[in-house]
Structure 1
């Protein structure tokens, strides 16, 4: 149809054929064309034709005009089960569960028996309570063995995380469809049972992009980014075309790993495959580049995104904050507000962290007050945590402690851990013990509580206190998380544990460690043995420091890359002061830039200095 005039007829003309009208309704160019076709039906008294009426209702629903669709439905005389199923499906697809259920109830009241399509429509998006009631209805009407209905039931229980019910239905299916298998895999991945999900996935004879995405995202969401990237490579070998959902999961995986090379390759892949870098993909790219240590690349992506929303601005502000670029974060915040964007709770997490990482205490306190006073945003536990970090990091431990005690909401273990960590950093044993006793006495202590208290005692040389805490940990089955660092070389991520003797190229790595020790001594460096949290002799402490995981990763980077190449290290714990000082020296001696992401923030080491200015 090239012109709307093709729809116009005069009273003396014959109306278009039913086939022609069906075609116009099925494939309208716009809502206006559909309205014109509807007018044509009314003019020729064809609006009651069952097929045309049915298709008209569906087309209105496809354009999101449920009001028109419902109005037509109400005027339909004696609607069949197909009409009822269609109007139910239209509302269910848009999350209007209550209205969909109302139509279903009305259908039963009018004596119309549902069919398998009715149940499938109802189950696509319904909550678990409605799903259980519908399960009973399927048994009553004899549809519970239908493949589509059974698949819908599996999906209902899977979405709710009821793996037992979902699996019982799944195991009794006479045949398993791609949809039911994907639903079951989704159920397992949501619960973190990725191994069970992978067994099902590997046993599938047919896979579409949806099930690949579910499995990849399952790995990403549950801290297994390497597995996500490996599965993606298999996806490409299988010639399955990735979509936007795929790349969003993979960008998150690269961010978790700090795998900049892989992230850049994925960025090129996105552009080469014609996947549009919209707001969602752009935000994921900013997040990935920020977490991989390249705020410069993040900013390039930010500047290229058209039609930015507040989420995009937030991601860049948070990116600046994690790199300690507080002025850049504050400038971006001011620009965002000047343009007319309303800050959100996430915006303030970024801004408060930016203040905390550079010691802007007064500024941070002002921002915290402005949240509710100026923007009407009620602070959440994350914002209180940022304030505790801001105050305690600046050495205002008693003020931070009083702040926690006077909070309007209940402090969580992460917040208490922040304060305990600051007690260790500033050597405040008395307050550390007070906080630990408070947590233990109220059954709020977790593994982090005991480990931080042990570290506080160790830093003060109180080995009796260390022994007491470690006995408590042993009796409770609590283990300290080992230090682990990773480095990406040639698109492969290599991991190192503290004291690792099974690491890649072990002999060369330890030879390089000895060479580094020689450089350090030549520059007058003295190991900071007071950071060793074990009761050892001085030489043993020095040897313990030499094999910290980040030093092994740096040594591997030095022997595996060309001179001048930037090294990017990711560590799971806070970098210790000895490793921080050593890394500054290595950057000066080798002329290399070293970017390190620890549990708290990024450190950019260049020519003997760190971007954190030793404030971390």
Structure 2
């Protein structure tokens, strides 16, 4: 039985009910009139007034009035009152239950929806038989395959599985559960003219499983007139979720050309794609697009804009969007806190956290991830400890693996490696994940605690927990102490396991064009000019006293070869290309998929001083703003 069943109906005669000013004259109220007034009613207060008037007129037990009252309460969000009325209805029909099931299912109250279905099937002697509408309302509440398959079998038994609504709901159920084979079998039965909802469900299924080529083949095979914005969104979402933002953005532009008007979700997906790419100019174009369309700049779109701007390196624009939003929920505040944290503006992140609480908003687990990251990026150990301890004590939020990961990163960066390791060992409610182990190994390497690093690495390898990042860090730890034989052993293990190191790649946006470079890249048409500028840069930074940090090249090579290897890192190539491709004084914005090495960080600081350029650099974890020979990270990253 639904928990809503314990609620009591409100007093039947609230103040003003039946009074002329309420708009309901109970003396003249008939059942037909009451039912007509209740049609389309979506206000709890209005529903209560009409309910009181119906009671006084003695028409509240009329089945049409009773049904409309239940729907009115449900539409206004008072599902407790709708269910309470259902409980008092003599011999409710399947239509009554279907309405209640749909009201709960459509609001994500899946367990309550299925409980109502179960109650309906056990009504009376043999229970009430569900209709096609009952099943199509119940199937979206199935969070697993077991119940969904049972309903599929029941629909087949009742000869309802061929109904268009039921078939579409079944397809959606299998798609959400990731059973592509069952979903496709149902979809093929709908050919040659499937409903657009079925197509969208099938696209969503493929996208969720990462079968993007199958999804795109299905999408491209549809005539344009049958693709609505939901269909386009499903395909875009697949690309953004699986790290293919360029395709998502191209699809958004194609959607506009096709004449389909995007909705709020379309814009949020496009902004997410831009945030992944880090292309600020595309982001500004999208922001202008929002201003010129009917898409409302609400909390959801505002959050996506803030997220996009700070991930594209323009924290000032993110702050401007935040300051201009009237509708600021906790998700908007979380985005701003994360923006400050990612740019190393830790004090501003903590101040924003304080403002969030002053507004009376309750922090979420996401809020604490942002605040703890801010502490980690600036070495605010005491603040981090205090905030971490306050989560459960003050807010009842049990720390998750992400929060422990933030604390391990904070302690490890600060050199408190043993304390970080002790924290990992103390975890009881959740197990440490790969990110946490990599963070701990990185701290061991950074602070040269090789003994602990080897202990951790041996534990991971022995228990089959090592991934590519861990193997690489283990290899680096051995290389840092000159254990080349052990380095060879680890690399042989990587090769045997089929694990490959992710290649470093840096991208720079020139105008609206993005150019990518890998270490030692010679594929660009202007390669000769790029390397000439690179050689000039290396000479200038050496004149400033820079000594290449060849100890970072973790291969058994001579010093000259190590120096050459350092000189052609992807971010240095991107900077060189930026210098020859933009006017003096232009800010260079670079995105890298990995963490920058200490040598590149030192070189970029000096290049910013020599050229008078600001260089905004985003690595895997955060932003660095290089200005006049210094970095906003304070060399703490």
TM-score by length of 2: 0.88
Alignment match, 1:149: 166
Does 2:107 match 1:90? no
Does 2:334 match 1:314? yes
**Which one of the candidate residues 516, 531, 540 is aligned to 1:495?**
516
Structure 2 Cα separation of the partners of residues 355 and 402 of structure 1: 19
Alignment match, 2:10: none
Does 2:148 match 1:131? yes
Structure 1 Cα separation of the partners of residues 587 and 447 of structure 2: 32
Give the superposition deviation at 1:106.
Answer: 4.1
**Which one of the candidate residues 156, 159, 164 is aligned to 2:181?**
164
State whether residues 391 and 399 of structure 1, in contact with CA within 8 Å, keep that contact through their aligned partners in structure 2. Answer: yes
Structure 1 Cα separation of the partners of residues 286 and 71 of structure 2: 40
Structure 2 Cα separation of the partners of residues 329 and 90 of structure 1: 40
Does 2:197 match 1:176? no
Structure 1 Cα separation of the partners of residues 434 and 204 of structure 2: 30
**Which one of the candidate residues 86, 104, 114 is aligned to 2:120?**
104
Does 2:544 match 1:531? no
State whether residues 26 and 54 of structure 2, in contact with CA within 8 Å, keep that contact through their aligned partners in structure 1. Answer: no
Structure 2 Cα separation of the partners of residues 46 and 373 of structure 1: 53
Give the superposition deviation at 1:117.
Answer: 1.9
Structure 2 Cα separation of the partners of residues 261 and 201 of structure 1: 28
Please, which runs of 5 or more residues in structure 2 have no aligned partner? Answer: 1-18
Does 2:267 match 1:253? no
**Which one of the candidate residues 571, 583, 589 is aligned to 1:562?**
583
Map 1:50-61 → 2, pairs under 5 A: 54-61=67-74
Deviations 1:337-381 (A, max 9, x none): 344444333333222222222222233233333333444433222
Q: Relative to structure 2, which stretch is displaced further, 152-161 or 94-103?
A: 94-103
Q: Relative to structure 2, which stretch is displaced further, 487-496 or 137-146?
A: 487-496
Please, which runs of 5 or more residues in structure 1 have no aligned partner? Answer: none
Does 2:157 match 1:140? yes
State whether residues 42 and 73 of structure 2, in contact with CA within 8 Å, keep that contact through their aligned partners in structure 1. Answer: no
Structure 2 Cα separation of the partners of residues 494 and 607 of structure 1: 25
Alpha-carbon RMSD? 2.8
State whether residues 441 and 473 of structure 2, in contact with CA within 8 Å, keep that contact through their aligned partners in structure 1. Answer: yes
State whether residues 87 and 103 of structure 1, in contact with CA within 8 Å, keep that contact through their aligned partners in structure 2. Answer: no
Say if 1:423 and 1:458 are closer, same or farther in 2 by CA, change over 3 A.
same
Q: Relative to structure 2, which stretch is displaced further, 498-507 or 146-155?
A: 498-507
**Which one of the candidate residues 379, 394, 399 is aligned to 1:359?**
379
> Match of 1:204, SS?
coil
Say if 1:29 and 1:7 are closer, same or farther in 2 by CA, change over 3 A.
farther
> Match of 2:198, SS?
helix
Count of residues paired in the alignment: 611
Alignment match, 1:64: 77
Give the superposition deviation at 1:210.
Answer: 1.0
Alignment match, 1:542: 563
**Which one of the candidate residues 195, 211, 222 is aligned to 2:231?**
211
Structure 2 Cα separation of the partners of residues 565 and 607 of structure 1: 14
Structure 2 Cα separation of the partners of residues 331 and 72 of structure 1: 48
Give the superposition deviation at 1:82.
Answer: 3.8
Give the superposition deviation at 1:9.
Answer: 5.1
> Match of 2:190, SS?
coil
Structure 2 Cα separation of the partners of residues 10 and 396 of structure 1: 75
> Match of 2:296, SS?
coil
Deviations 1:141-188 (A, max 9, x none): 111222221111111111112222222222233542111111111111
> Match of 2:633, SS?
coil
Map 1:168-317 → 2, pairs under 5 A: 168-174=185-191, 175-205=193-223, 206-317=226-337
**Which one of the candidate residues 459, 463, 481 is aligned to 2:480?**
459
Alignment match, 2:344: 324
Does 2:460 match 1:439? yes
Structure 1 Cα separation of the partners of residues 442 and 556 of structure 2: 20
Say if 1:602 and 1:109 are closer, same or farther in 2 by CA, change over 3 A.
farther
Map 1:325-474 → 2, pairs under 5 A: 325-408=345-428, 409-474=430-495
Say if 1:267 and 1:504 are closer, same or farther in 2 by CA, change over 3 A.
farther
Say if 1:467 and 1:68 are closer, same or farther in 2 by CA, change over 3 A.
closer
Q: Relative to structure 2, which stretch is displaced further, 496-505 or 197-206?
A: 496-505
Give the superposition deviation at 1:273.
Answer: 1.3
> Match of 1:102, SS?
helix
Say if 1:339 and 1:137 are closer, same or farther in 2 by CA, change over 3 A.
closer
State whether residues 88 and 104 of structure 1, in contact with CA within 8 Å, keep that contact through their aligned partners in structure 2. Answer: no
State whether residues 499 and 549 of structure 1, in contact with CA within 8 Å, keep that contact through their aligned partners in structure 2. Answer: yes
Say if 1:89 and 1:504 are closer, same or farther in 2 by CA, change over 3 A.
farther
Say if 1:160 and 1:527 are closer, same or farther in 2 by CA, change over 3 A.
same
Q: Relative to structure 2, which stretch is displaced further, 138-147 or 78-87?
A: 78-87
> Match of 2:141, SS?
coil
